[in-house]
Amino acid sequence: MPLPALRLICLAVSLTVTTHAFAAIDGVVRRTHPRLYATPAELTALNKYFSGGRLPAKRGEISFTVTTHLRAEGDSQDGVVFGGYNNPVSAILIRHIDSLDITTGTPKVRLQVAFTVPGEASYAAYGELSLSPGEPTKVTLSYDTEQHTASLVTDKAGAVSKQIAYNAALFARWLPGETTPKFDFAYVRRNDVVSGLQVKDLVANQVLWSHERIDSQLNAARGSLLWAADKTSGSIATCMTASEPATLCNVAQNGRGDTLGTAKQLALAYQISNRSVAYAKAARAYAELIMGVTDLAAGREWAMAARVGALGVLYDWFYNDPEFDAELKRKIRATIRDTIRTDVPEVGGKQDDDLIEMICGTPKLAPSTSLLDCASKPDLSRSYLGGHQFSAMTGAALGLLAILDESVNEGHDVTPLIIRIYDHMIEGMIPARNYASGEGGHHMLYAYGANVAEVIERLVMWRRAIVPSSGTTVAPTTFESKVIRPYIYALHADNTFPAAGDAFELVLPEPTLGYMALAAATQGDGVATTFYEKHVQSARPWASAQLLWDRLYFPATRQPAAELSTLPLSARYRVAGNVYMRDSWDREKSTLLEFKSTSFISENHQHLDQNSFTIYKRAPLLVDSGLYNEYDSTHWKNYYRRTIAHNSIVVFDPNEQFLYDSKPMSNDGGQWIKRRVGDAGQERYPTIAEIQPGARNALDGVTHYEEDKEGGYAFVTGNASKAYSTKLDQNDGFLRSILYLRPTSTSPKTTVLVFDRIHAPGRLAATSLLHTVKKPQSHATQHADSIAGGGRVVLAPTPTNLPLLVRNGDGMVTIEPLLPENARITLAGGTDGAPCDQEPADVNYTDCRFTARVATGGGSFAWRNFPAIPGSETHPVTTDAGNWRIEIAAVDEGRSAPDAYQWFLNVLHVEDNRLEADPTENTAKLLPSSDGSAAAVALESGGTVVFAKRSAAAASLRWKAGCGFRGTVIATGLVSGQTYRWQCDTGTQEIVLAATGTQAAGTASGEGVLKFTVR
């Protein structure tokens, strides 16, 4: 895919000109401060939600419509409708009196209307309202300070329970108008609605100020942020003196979450608190703390970018405050430039991990003290897909954009490096995400896929910092409005997501999920609006400060909410290879199947998990196993990211080597990034061009997908052949087809059929894997050759295979392994203390959950457990970690397969956990095929599902159902668009589906699926 050669060109770089034009986007860098993340206009718009105004001095009128409710859990005591407590000036307070509410019989909500004088415990005037809960009531309060009168009126009869009464002496001292009183809009009851608020000067006949609607939740969020900022300010003050300083004090090592996050918190608190001096002083102290780090490379790029970014935000948002005097700003500018220039020497030829390496790569910096630029055009094309460098670049951009004008004016032109960073974004970072996630989905879902939202936040920053010319958009994308959809489909009943990819804990309150949802909701996606409001926002505390950032970044009107049920029950994201299948949008009851077959292979946080799937119903049933304890850990390299940890296929070849950084890893028999002899092969970190169809890192991915028009089923086929070495045929080595049958009135279970076609020319035996949280139950006896301990239980084979039952929480799945017949089934894992060898050998672990083969010399192999020793990742997902692995093979371990082609067929019945369930035989029956063309299954419901056994589209299929068969047939693997007929071969008692026949069947869909009824 050719990339646009976009380039930012600075047209005005003189020492005295401070308008910086960027030709490629036809715009200029904003001259005003702040300009990072928000502009004065956006902050003014946000502050309007919090501000009241002065009251008229002589004759005034306050009118509004209020819908009140009885106090609920979490509501403030005696919540405020208008005004505020402890006002320093003459004011009006309208508040709830909780003790006077009537909660029985005919409920009533009582409001007190009071005129307050500063320093006085008694009211100058006082009245009461008695309102019906949930009923809008218009209230009008008027006063005359010259006549010393006031009046309370509503549009509901009897709503004024006590007309205004006066304390004449105090009311004579009630003198509003000179100063704006305090307003506590945050302390209304949560469900109260105050709208149409107007404060009118009756002398001038003029509305002084108004609010269309009081947003009490946003005001409460403001209160939370200011409380947190107060706490942060106190911690900063003790950073140098406390015996155990707060985490935020460790600016030498902290990343952007702590250091940059602290700066942003102080900055926003300052801007929404009428520029509080306290926050300005705290910001100055924090800037000085950051500049006190003498080793500018401390923490390498992770901490360097955080420090530079934090200084940029502080410089920008506090630019006009007296605390940020000329000398302090000069020091900040110098520290930003010097930190970016700091070059950490390379050791052993490895990347040196400093900021300039992240931006310029190996060319490093141009040899100039007055110009900050790379020595030559950098090539970071292998970094764009992963995007780690983008974090470092953003930190640098925050600093450079903040100081641009003054830095140029003092003889240090930072413009060229801003251009380089913008080039990387336009030429690489955005195109990579447009390709992988342009229709939604992500190859590293879910935790690291959510980092796309960080990209969205960075785009907000750039779009606020640059003023585009009319009709243009800064950094346009196609992915922003799409990436939330997989999270909508994948959300579990317990508000978690599948533990796919490198899975640290991802919870609904996360800002990233809100940003993705809002990016879509403000671009026309009503379902995203619903997801944000009913799921993301409701999972947060009502007064969550995050709401402020949400509103600041996404002020545009959201699309009206649309029900999730308006979405199809399945979805496919082609390039990323994510497929979702549900049987309803009732998350508490529905069965979620998540399938993955990405169209390319890479490293970073993408796992070797092509053609894998998971199932969730009320709890995780079939899972990705392992724990994300630390990137690059022994557990991560040998088990967690490997195919053996996923519900996929492994093909053990004792002659195969899996090398990582030239060091041998476990031989799990799975997928790998191939480095072929005499060929550059696949790249661990491919360019965008290298993941295009037909390129070196391309895989076939999802080749077929269909959602039944009548809603009865969903179907997918993935081709993962190229994800394996040549031990599998590279075109049809591993094709997996999944048919998801939704419950019906006669068949209340969700039934999933998983059919695998394996083509191993060397007859290496394949093994189908299923991972579970709880130990599978089976009536099969333990084989006499079962290894004692070691975490491996070999079940005695039976001709038709016995079912396995897996329970977890309130869900269960019955696994009926139909192919291969007479299968060798092993249960591997357990945490019962059975002895098994550990890797590394000196760890004291007794569980056997994460085993894979390792070479022991002389061509021998042994199983080793790779425990998830706690590492740098402090919040790994544990509920989906998996404890047991079901291994299904055609032959005993170490033997060759009977043929180059092997087939696996598992029928999975998913339902609520029934304690009485104890299956002793399969309910699904495998039907013979005389010519071997079909793998056909007769289901308990009476229907039949047929899979073509060859990878090529089948012109005809036949299976033994009996000529008396009547029922529904779903056939897959057919020729797209071909018309089929059926008839029964009386000699073999087989149904024959072909182009010719006595009865019409119908036309195969574009995905090669045909559903028809035999009558």
At the top level of CATH, the class of 570-923 is mainly beta
Per-residue pLDDT at 34: 98
The one-letter amino acid code at 129 reads L
Using CA atoms, how far apart are residues 985 and 992, in angstroms rounded to an integer? 7
The DSSP annotation for 111-173 comes to: EEEEEE-TT-SS-SEEEEEEE-TT--EEEEEEEETTTTEEEEEESSTT-EEEEEEE-HHHHHT
Return the DSSP state at 12: -
Bridge partner list, 66: 137, 194
Sheet arrangement for strand 612-616:
570-573, 578-581, 592-596, 612-616, 620-622
Give the list of residues 6+ apart from residue 606 with CB closer than 8 angstroms, or none.
443, 444, 501, 598
Cβ(990)–Cβ(958) below 8 Å: yes
Domain ranges of the chain: 50-214, 220-566, 570-923, 944-1014
What is the pLDDT, as a whole number, of residue 459? 96
pLDDT at 679: 47
Cβ atoms of 760 and 897 within 8 Å: the answer is yes
| Residue 18: Cβ within 10 Å count | 14
Asked if residues 717 and 701 have their Cβ atoms less than 8 Å apart, the reply is no
The predicted pLDDT at position 20 comes to 53
CA–CA gap between residue 597 and residue 611 (Å, rounded): 5
User: How many C-alpha atoms does 391 have within 13 Å on its Cβ side?
Assistant: 20
Do 850 and 837 form a contact (C-beta atoms < 8 A)? no
Cis peptide before 34 (omega within 30 of 0): yes
Q: Count Cβ atoms below 10 Å from residue 102 Cβ, excluding itself.
A: 13
Q: For domain 50-214, say whether CATH 2.60.120.200 is its number.
A: yes
Pairwise CA distance, residues 33 & 35, whole Å: 5
Could you report how far apart the first and last alpha carbons of the chain are, in Å? 51
Phi, psi (degrees; rounded to nearest 5) at 356: -70, -30
Pick the closest to residue 607 from 825, 841, 811, 771 (CA basis): 771
Query: How many Cβ atoms sit within 10 Å of the Cβ of residue 353?
Result: 17
DSSP 207-249: EEEEEEE--HHHHHHHHHHHHHHHHHHHHHHTTTT-SS--GGG
315 CB neighbour count, 10 Å cutoff = 29
- For residue 934, give the amino acid letter: A
Q: Could you list the mean pLDDT of each consecutive 10-residue stretch along the chain, which spans 1015 residues?
A: 33 37 67 96 93 93 96 90 91 96 96 96 96 97 96 96 95 91 84 94 96 92 94 95 91 95 98 93 98 96 97 98 98 97 74 87 85 93 90 97 94 93 94 95 90 92 91 91 97 93 90 97 98 96 95 97 96 98 96 98 94 97 94 94 98 95 94 65 91 96 97 98 96 98 91 98 98 96 65 91 97 98 94 80 81 94 92 75 95 94 98 96 97 97 96 97 95 98 96 94 98 95
d(CA 379, CA 402): 26
Which residue bears the tokens 């309007």?
A: 48
Q: What local confidence, expressed as pLDDT, does residue 809 receive?
A: 96
pLDDT of residue 953: 97
Cβ atoms within 10 Å, residue 627:
28
- Which residue's structure tokens are 């940890």? 645
Cis-peptide into 820, omega within 30 deg: yes
CA distance 750 to 500: 22
Cβ contacts of 674-681, under 8 Å, gap ≥ 24: 674/725
Percent helix, strand, coil in the chain (nearest 5)? 25, 25, 50
Which CATH number is 220-566's, of 3.40.50.300, 3.100.10.20, 1.10.10.10, 1.50.10.100?
1.50.10.100
Q: Is 377 helix (H, G, I), strand (E, B) or coil?
A: coil
Show the beta-strand stretches assigned E in 625-776: 649-651, 659-660, 663-664, 701-707, 713-719, 734-741, 750-759, 766-772
Of 234, 219, 328, nearest in space to 278 by CA = 234
Distance CA 235, CA 245 (A): 8
Q: Show Cβ contacts of residue 89 under 8 Å, excluding neighbours closer than 6 positions.
A: 118, 176, 178, 179, 180, 181
